[in-house]
DNA sequence: AATGAATGAGTCTTCATTCAT
DNA sequence: AATGAATGAAGACTCATTCAT
């Protein structure tokens, strides 16, 4: 989903390129697409991509960091709220699911091309990726401290299970052939939290 | 970790190539490595790779299917055992973790290059990938049927959370700089099951 | 070394660009530098280079012709003086050496990018280049006519040896890592003439 | 002029490429020619150039070093002969002129693209280039030691004048439109030595 | 089976030049 | 005059695949 400039404002070509890149990376994959595809999709000249970005890699770096940093910030904000730990996890899961609902292509690119790409962008952005996990772990830690969560599971480990569950659900949607309905999105938020917090044994 | 031929038997060049490919794919990534790297690592001539495999893709296909089919079989066998559902999940988690312990490079390749590669091998092998999820879901289903698991969480969804948690833990190891100790592997098996079955609330 | 406008006069952007081009061509070579480098070095906008010059080539053409025409004129003036042929050659060698001393970067550009560039600028400016050789040859011819020089060496040939020796000395300086001292410049003038006129046998 | 394989031997593609590169570099200049031009001229596939050479640069490096090292060796051998210093210079001038006569395209490439290319190959090959000058200087030094040459001119300087004169003559031929006759080559050898040793004053 | 030379399409990147303001 | 965004052609290099031996 493309960011739209204010009404009547001149088209921001840089933004146009980034939005086009999301579409193309999502459709064909980073490695399978050519820079020309991005330019074509954006409706700009080939060279303009290189006017705004050092390289094809830099385009993906920019896309990832823009979104990922927002997510990291949100997780931090959520943790600072005065609500139950479970509600915090609910907010985080909700934010990530809504991120996918709002811009599935961008989230697909982030998950497929970055967070699991251990030999390329995942390695490059390891610090940023870990920062997100750490912040989720802090939420769990808080829950353990207040006694809301039991300490049978190490916070860092719980964070991995929680984020892993979310990413797996998103991966399922990414692979799905049919569009995902709103109910499914909302259900997912609940189920993720219910599974991780409530457990299967209940 | 390479499969070794019986003592005294002639070296199976095809196996040599597959084992070399695992190393190279794990080290550099499928897209970043060249066919020449595989041949070099295997110590065989360039052209021999094409004698045994139709294409570079076919090498990865072979590696993936060899291992993945074993896993799918194991999950099925586990489900047929007369044990508690939670124990079944424990066995599955144990098998996957041990797969990583036994051959981390192959598991890295499978996770990084296939199960999340929505635009390339993940798409191609979607049926096989889904079969594994389905079998895990069947285990959960069985647990719900016997009343061991509550039905607050849909089996298919629980399977995703379960497998997602495992893959996230493995991804953490994949990205780790230091080697993983045996205790950590064993602990992980327990924690995954404890998290998914017991939940954080306990 | 940049030409400076009269005190208080507005900065001549065209001159600024030419002087910057000399620096950049000398530092990186004509082919290795970009038009942006020239604009940056001059501190002007990219497009202004194209306001004053038709092309990147035209910048070098201008630089070359500005200096080369002066040299050709000087050689002509020297020849018209009533002095010994050897003194004329001494004046020409002195002028070229001083040209290098005064603006080594411009001379580097002229020698490296034009006078030996048989497939690009050297070909384009062949008439101008030959005019200089011809004028030197005329000096030698005069020396032969007056009996000062023997006729064992054809004037045109002597001119080539003379100019070749000078250019080789300059090339040595161009390649040198350390700055050249004033004594070395003055010595060179004498040695060039002494070598060509006196010969090694003496 | 291409090196020819022994009769009946299979065509050495590497040699074919080098010989083609000489032709193309001489005709169009190193920067103006494309790698495809070399492959076309050699009648081989594009990729084969990169099978035998790391880069376009490496092709020129190889060409230069092959020939230049021979020249340096020859100068050393000449100096070890028991002949007059003047005869040694005659031999060196003769060898260089004959090198041009035998393969004018290669010599053009060496002079135009390397020995004066202060920002690219000339800089890279500075040690080799200087070695040649040094050996010529040693010849002059020997002449001064035996009293054959006067010591009014420093050997290193005389070497530059000598080599500069030769290169200028070759440059004249390089720029010439008409082919050079055998007499002109032979004359040049004598005139160069006569000019540098005998001097214009005689 | 085994070798490695040969092929050539594909693509990122560069950069001179143009143009709207 | 001055700016710098926009254009797009050009070219080096890569590398999967083929093939002759």
Q: Which residue is nearest to nucleotide E3 (CA to C1')?
A: B45
- Domains of chain C plus CATH, in order, are 7-53 (1.10.10.60), 60-201 (1.10.357.10)
Q: Is the CB of C106 under 7 A from strand F?
A: no
**For residues B170 and B107, is the Cβ–Cβ distance under 8 A?**
yes
Locate C133 and state its tokens.
């050789």
Is the predicted pLDDT of residue D10 greater than 70, yes or no? Answer: no
Region B25-43: mean pLDDT is 97
Locate A131 and state its tokens.
């920062």
Which tens digit of pLDDT belongs to each residue from B65-93? 999 999 999 999 999 999 999 999 999 99
Footprint of strand E on the protein (CB under 7 A): A 33-36, 46-47, 50-51, 54-57; B 13, 44-48, 50-52; C 32-36, 46-47, 50, 55-57; D 13, 44-48, 50-52
CA of C32 vs C1' of E16, distance in Å?
Answer: 13
Task: Write the CB contacts of C162 (distance below 8 Å, at least 6 apart in sequence).
Answer: C89, C92, C93, C136, C140, C192, C196
DSSP code, position A54 = S
| Chain A nearest C-alpha distance from B9 (Å) | 36
CA of D175 vs C1' of E18, distance in Å?
Answer: 35
Single out the residue of C78, C69, C72, C68 nearest to residue C106, CA to CA.
Answer: C68
The pLDDT value recorded for residue D76 is: 98
Region A42-70: mean pLDDT is 98
Is the predicted pLDDT of residue D6 greater than 70, yes or no? Answer: no
Q: How far apart are CA C32 and CA C41, in angstroms?
A: 15
Q: How far apart are CA C22 and CA C2, in angstroms?
A: 9
Region C96-112: mean pLDDT is 97
Per CB-CB distance under 8 Å, the chain C contacts of D199 are 195-202
Per-residue DSSP letters for B101-124? Answer: HH-HHHHHHIIIIIIT-TTTHHHH
Which tens digit of pLDDT belongs to each residue from A104-154? 999 999 999 999 999 999 999 999 999 999 999 999 999 999 999 998 889
Which nucleotide minimizes the distance between its C1' and the CA of A10? F5
Handedness of CA C126, C131, C132, C136 (dihedral sign): positive
Q: At what angle do helices D13-28 and D35-42 cross, to 10 degrees?
A: 120
Per CB-CB distance under 8 Å, the chain C contacts of D161 are 161, 164-165, 168-169, 191-192, 195-196
Among the partner residues A116, A163, A196, nearest to B200 by beta-carbon distance? A196
**Cα B89 to Cα A91, B94, B128, C85, distances in angstroms:** 28, 8, 19, 104
Region B37-51: mean pLDDT is 97
Region D115-131: mean pLDDT is 96
Interface test with B, best of A168, A171, A197 (most B CBs within 10 A): A168
Locate A189 and state its tokens.
């938020």
Region B139-164: mean pLDDT is 94
Per-residue DSSP letters for D45-67? Answer: -HHHHHHH-SSHHHHHHHHHHHH
CA of B15 vs C1' of E3, distance in Å?
Answer: 18
Is the predicted pLDDT of residue D154 greater than 80, yes or no? Answer: yes
Length of chain D: 202
Q: Locate the chain D residue with the closest alpha carbon to C116.
A: D112
The pLDDT value recorded for residue B152 is: 87
Is the predicted pLDDT of residue D180 greater than 90, yes or no? Answer: yes
Per CB-CB distance under 8 Å, the chain A contacts of B86 are 200-201
| Chain A nearest C-alpha distance from B140 (Å) | 9
Scanning D144-163 for CB atoms below 8 A from C yields 148-150, 152-154, 157-158, 160-161, 163
Q: How far apart are CA C8 and CA C1, in angstroms?
A: 19
| Chain D nearest C-alpha distance from C78 (Å) | 19
Region A52-64: mean pLDDT is 98
Region C192-196: mean pLDDT is 94
The pLDDT value recorded for residue D201 is: 77
Contact check, Cβ <8 Å, C167/D166: no
Is the predicted pLDDT of residue B100 greater than 70, yes or no? Answer: yes
The pLDDT value recorded for residue C125 is: 98
Which tens digit of pLDDT belongs to each residue from C174-187? 999 999 999 999 99
CA of D34 vs C1' of F10, distance in Å?
Answer: 10
**For residues A40 and A8, is the Cβ–Cβ distance under 8 A?**
no
CA of C24 vs C1' of F5, distance in Å?
Answer: 24
Residue B5 contacts A, CB cutoff 8 Å: no
Q: Which residue is nearest to nucleotide E12 (CA to C1')?
A: A35
Residue with tokens 């010591």: D151
Per CB-CB distance under 8 Å, the chain D contacts of C120 are 29, 31-32
Region D123-149: mean pLDDT is 96
Task: Write the CB contacts of C163 (distance below 8 Å, at least 6 apart in sequence).
Answer: C132, C133, C136, D168
Region D3-23: mean pLDDT is 79
CA of C5 vs C1' of F2, distance in Å?
Answer: 20
| Chain D nearest C-alpha distance from C5 (Å) | 30
Residue A172 contacts B, CB cutoff 8 Å: yes
Q: How far apart are CA A139 and CA A145, in angstroms?
A: 10
Contact check, Cβ <8 Å, C118/D140: no
The pLDDT value recorded for residue A5 is: 47
Q: How far apart are CA C153 and CA C144, in angstroms?
A: 9
């Amino acid at each position: 989903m493309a960011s739209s400039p204010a009404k009547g404002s001149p088209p921001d070509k840089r933004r146009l390129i980034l939005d086009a890149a999301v579409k193309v990376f999502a459709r064909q994959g980073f490695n399978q697409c050519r820079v020309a595809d991005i330019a074509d999709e954006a409706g700009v000249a080939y060279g303009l991509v290189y006017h705004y970005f050092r390289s094809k890699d830099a385009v993906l770096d920019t896309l990832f960091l823009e979104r990922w940093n927002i997510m990291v910030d949100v997780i931090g904000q959520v943790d600072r709220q005065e609500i139950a730990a479970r509600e915090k996890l609910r907010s985080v899961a909700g934010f990530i699911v809504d991120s996918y609902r709002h811009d599935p292509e961008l989230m697909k690119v982030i998950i497929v091309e970055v967070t699991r790409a251990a030999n390329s962008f995942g390695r490059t952005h390891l610090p940023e990726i870990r920062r997100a996990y750490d912040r989720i772990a802090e939420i769990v830690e808080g829950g353990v401290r207040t006694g809301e969560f039991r300490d049978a599971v190490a916070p860092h480990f719980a964070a991995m299970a929680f984020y892993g569950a979310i990413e797996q659900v998103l991966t399922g949607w990414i692979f799905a052939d049919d569009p995902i309905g709103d109910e499914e999105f909302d259900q997912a938020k609940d189920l993720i939290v219910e599974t991780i917090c409530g457990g299967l044994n209940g």
